A and B are shown apart, each in its own frame.
Chain A
């Protein structure tokens, strides 16, 4: 299994480190040809404007949209969540529009409003884990077939729509790898298994 990590700008090495800890091969994605062999994709944190600009220019924007629409499992964190969304309510940013969610960018304010908190994401782990929000967005509204996985202070911060997982915070910074593990086990391995072969424990 190879998981691509978009490497235009931002904290992509942090995601590569998590994959290494989980014994999964990671691959930095900088141009269209890098996408060929991957089984899943991570869109990291960073500045969504900076990423979108370069992706538009080198064709990655269309290529990644196509790849996701074809069923490639994807996880977006912070700026990655913004890229996945259909609509940004407060700022004009180019997005891939593959998830039926409406997002508020820099929703909590500037760096002085960045924070971390403990919360449990029931579907992923009963144990509360640290969620790190850096100049973070949150999800204001979700479409009918989007599952809300976590709400913090009345704002949606984790949502899943089929093979797309969006997180407003940074699981790559906490040192707890359960969310990446969930992405790999339930969203990538399941995809690659033929029907009927899912084993019962």
Chain B
């Protein structure tokens, strides 16, 4: 792989142990930064509103992204539709620090993800399992996150995806080397990436949790399940006291193994986002099933 790809994986390493927060304005971005976010995700509507409003969700107005870039000093990420490489070209021209090719937006291509190897800017992509993660990495993603079920405030799918991924990684690790050829065929992934997983027992890139994290306990749960950090979408600015909740989730990620601190930071946070139980979401409305 080329040097830029290494640098892009390196930036993801600097985000580890941190919280990346969805923000829809410069003002929210500042609140996120002051609360201790390690990066912000600039988008026009948080997933909960996209879910509510319906219709087609697209990449954000460059004006809003530029305002957020001007407001904060931490890295600024932004989303493009799955397969929409021109939206990605536009975000690269804006010099965002990371592009999220995201199932939260309406997919623009029914078959293909973006060929991310053609870009200099780094990409993060969602994955439900090991095979999706390795396919995204083979397309050039330098960071992976679980898909979860965005905009629900229900952590169950993120847990499912993370557990599945780690259990698949354990299985690959336990295989004999000669069994990897068949496993690569089964999983529909490139052999060299599977060999990396076999040898190191982890993905070759940083892996965050996303999709349904709403409380400090949710964030710590994902960290204890083995994530490197956490994305929080609707969970912060759809809650009663975003400033306080944001700071609490940041602390919960740092001290994810310390129940006494987790108890302290969970206290008196005001109303969480209302939330929708994932199992009541209609199949066609599930975002996690977008992507290939």
Contacts of B34 in A (CB 8 A): 53
Contact between B121 and A47, CB atoms less than 8 A apart: no
* In contact, B95 and A50 (Cβ under 8 angstroms): no
Q: Mark B14-49, 1 if CB is under 8 A from A, else 0.
A: 111110000000000000011111110000000000
Interface size on A, residues (CB 8 A): 34
A183 to B240 alpha-carbon distance, docked (Å): 47
B36 x A53 contact (CB < 8 A): yes
Q: Is the CB of B11 within 8 A of A10?
A: no
Asked if A68 is at the interface (CB within 8 A of a chain B CB), the reply is no
Report B-chain residues with C-beta under 8 Å of the C-beta of A30.
254-255, 258
* Alpha-carbon distance between A111 and B67 when the two chains are bound, in angstroms: 18
Partner of A50, one of B3, B10, B37: B37
A54–B254 touching, CB < 8 Å: yes
Question: Is B8 in contact with chain A by the CB < 8 A criterion?
Answer: yes
Give how many A-B residue pairs fall within 8 Å (CB-CB): 106
A49→B38 CA distance, assembly (Å): 8
Say if the beta carbon of B13 comes within 8 Å of chain A.
Answer: yes
Q: Is A198 an interface residue (CB 8 A)?
A: no
Evaluate contact between B254 and A14: CB separation under 8 angstroms. Answer: no
Residue of B nearest to A133 (CB): B7
A65 at the interface (CB under 8 A from B): no
Q: In chain B, residues 136-190, which have Cβ atoms closer than 8 Å to a Cβ of chain A? A: none
B74 at the binding interface (Cβ < 8 Å): yes
> What residues of A have a CB within 8 angstroms of the CB of B120 in the complex?
112
User: Closest Cβ of chain B: how far from A48's Cβ, in Å?
Assistant: 9
Could you say which residues of chain B place their CB within 8 Å of the CB of A91? 73
Cβ of A46 under 8 Å from chain B: yes
Q: How far is the CA of A66 from the CA of B196 in the complex (A)?
A: 44
Given contacts A10-B17, A49-B74, A91-B73, contact A173 B254 (CB under 8 A): no
Q: Is A12 an interface residue (CB 8 A)?
A: yes
Write out the residue numbers on chain B whose beta carbons fall within 8 Å of the beta carbon of A10: 14-18, 38
A8 touches B254 (CB 8 A): yes
Check: B132 CB closer than 8 A to any chain A CB: no
Chain B contact-residue range equals 35 or more
- Within 8 Å CB of B95, what residues of A? 109-112
Q: Give A14 to B18 CA distance when docked, in angstroms.
A: 15
Q: Could you jot down 15 A-B contacts, CB within 8 Å?
A: A7-B17, A9-B18, A9-B253, A9-B254, A11-B16, A47-B74, A50-B38, A110-B95, A111-B121, A114-B10, A116-B3, A132-B6, A134-B11, A135-B75, A173-B10
Q: Which of A11, A49, A54, A79 contacts B251 (CB 8 A)?
A: A54
Contact residues of B with A, CB < 8 Å? 3, 6-8, 10-11, 13-18, 33-39, 73-75, 92, 95-98, 120-122, 247, 250-251, 253-255, 258
Q: Is chain A's interface secondary structure helix, strand, loop, or mixed overall?
A: loop
Q: Could you tell me if B122 and A111 are in contact, using CB atoms closer than 8 angstroms? A: yes
Q: CA of A56 to CA of B254 in the docked complex: distance in angstroms?
A: 14
CB-based contact B13/A47 at 8 Å: no
B13 and A11 within 8 A (CB)? yes
Told that A47-B75, A111-B122, A116-B7 touch, could you supply 6 new A-B pairs with CB distance under 8 A?
A9-B38, A47-B15, A106-B73, A110-B75, A111-B98, A114-B7
A29 to B121, CA, bound (A): 33
Cβ contact within 8 Å between A11 and B14: yes
Tell me the chain A residues, 1-24 only, with Cβ under 8 Å from chain B: 7-14
Q: Are A135 and B254 in contact, CB atoms less than 8 angstroms apart?
A: no
The answer, among B14, B18, B97, B122, for a CB contact under 8 Å with A78, is B14
Is the CB–CB distance between A134 and B73 below 8 Å?
no
CA distance A172 to B195 in the complex (A): 24
Can you list the 3 inter-chain pairs with the closest CB atoms, starting with the nearest? A111-B97, A53-B36, A9-B18
A78 to B92, CA, bound (A): 24
Take A9-B254, A111-B97, A112-B120 as given contacts and tell me if A50 and B18 are in contact as well, using a CB distance cutoff of 8 Å: yes
Task: Report the nearest B residue to A112, measured CB to CB.
Answer: B95
CA distance A132 to B98 in the complex (A): 18
A110-B14 in contact (CB<8A): no
- A54's partner among B33, B74, B97, B250 (CB-CB below 8 A) is B250
Are the C-beta atoms of B14 and A134 separated by less than 8 Å? Answer: yes
